[in-house]
Amino acid sequence: MSSDSKKLNETSPSSAAEAVMETHRSLGAAAALHLAPIREVRNPAEADEMEPLVRGMLEVLGEEPEREGLERTPHRVAKAMRFLTSGYAADLSEIVNGAVFDSEGYQEMVLVKEIEFYSLCEHHLLPFFGKACVAYLPGKKIIGLSKIPRLLDIFARRLQVQERMTQQLAASLEEILQPRGVAVAVTGFHLCMAMRGVEKQASQTTTTAFTGLFQGDRDLRKEFLSLIRDGGRS
Ligand code: ZN
């Protein structure tokens, strides 16, 4: 028996509600995970103060920002960075609005596999990208399946570490659905590792977050992991 399930069995023998409470404690307060928008939506009509900074960086790199190929680069970089970090201004409740439904008694695992994501590592501002698999055990509510990739985008489009992004995705589903449990597994390929020549260039990083019943029930975790491993042919 893992320490997780032991801990849960001691504190909450069978109640799903108590298991969820345990989850909230173990994931930390939603505020600490930045589930709420942390920047206002920027008016795209205004000149972007990022552009002169990019121009300055080009100069420091020894380039000539005025040459033809680079002339519009500060504008393009600023625009790209704004898009790649648009998750800071995204509002969770706005995105799921109208897509949370009564589960009508459906109790089995809901699994969405291999959701693509692209993010930027906060240490080097270089991309990391890969796939996420998300499962939850409904309580009274279910969510429109197309919203799960959108939730992931909220957190991927920020400066990130994969560990936090994984937790944020789990915590956001907890907050929206109050399910009996959430499982998230993310596999990412980090260009800051690959491009900067750290030994294992092709290595991938996997992170997981389990809440509620997934935390306490080892068989359930195993079921989730086998479903995402073998393409659901179990
Ligand atoms: Zn990095």
Tokens of 126: 């270089």
- Identify whether residues 203 and 183 lie together within a single domain: yes
| Structural domains counted in the chain | 2
Q: Which of 89, 114, 131 represents a domain boundary (last residue)? A: 89
Task: Report yes or no on 183 lying in a domain.
Answer: yes
Residue entry with tokens 């969405």: 112
Distance 128 CA to ligand 1 centre (A): 8
CA of residue 125 to ligand 1 center, whole Å: 7
Q: Which residues are part of the catalytic machinery?
A: 121-124, 162, 190, 192
95 found inside a domain: no
Q: Cα of 158 to ligand 1 centre, how many Å? A: 13
Mean pLDDT, the chain, whole residue set: 86
Which segment, 32-46, 89-103, 112-126, is predicted with the most confidence on average?
Answer: 112-126
* Last residue of one domain, picked from the residues 67, 89, 111: 89
Vertex 181: Cα angle to 180 and 187 (nearest 5): 160
Same domain, 24 and 43: no
Same domain, 132 and 221: yes
DSSP 39: S
Residue 189 lies in a domain: yes
Sheet holding 127-137, edge to edge: 159-160, 110-121, 127-137, 181-190, 205-212
**Taking the model in full, what pTM does it have?**
0.83
pLDDT, tens only, 111-159: 999 999 999 999 999 999 999 999 999 999 999 999 999 999 999 999 9
One domain for residues 66 and 160: no
Residues 107, 43, single domain; the answer is no
Q: What is the pLDDT of residue 228?
A: 93
Query: Does residue 169 fall inside a structural domain?
Result: yes
**Residues 18 and 45 reside in one and the same domain:** no
Q: Which residue has the tokens 């491993």?
A: 229
Confidence of residue 15 (pLDDT cuts 50, 70, 90): very low
Please check whether residues 8 and 79 belong to one and the same domain: no
Check: CB of residue 175 under 8 Å from CB of residue 92. yes
Tokens read off for 35: 């589930």
CB 156 within 8 A of CB 118: yes
* Same domain for 194 and 140: yes
Per residue in 186-224, pLDDT (tens digit) is 999 999 988 886 566 678 999 999 999 999 999 999 999
In a domain, 234, yes or no: no
In the chain, the N- to C-terminal Cα span, in Å, equals 23
For residues 127 and 182, membership in a common domain is answered with yes
Position with higher pLDDT, 5 vs 117: 117
d(CA 152, CA 170): 10
Stretch 76-81: mean pLDDT = 96
What CATH number is given to the structural domain containing 66?
1.10.286.10
Q: Which tokens go with 23?
A: 């989850």
Mark whether 120 and 201 lie in a shared domain.
yes
Q: How far apart are CA 66 and CA 61, in angstroms?
A: 14
Same domain for 81 and 117?
no
Q: How far is the CA of 211 from the centre of ligand 1 (A)?
A: 27
Residue 82 shares a structural domain with residue 108: no
* SS3 state of residue 154: helix
CATH number, domain with residue 147? 3.30.1130.10
Q: How far apart are CA 34 and CA 71, in angstroms?
A: 36
Name residue 132's beta-bridge partners. Answer: 115, 186
pLDDT computed for residue 30 by the predictor: 57
> By residue range, what is the domain housing residue 10?
3-32+100-229
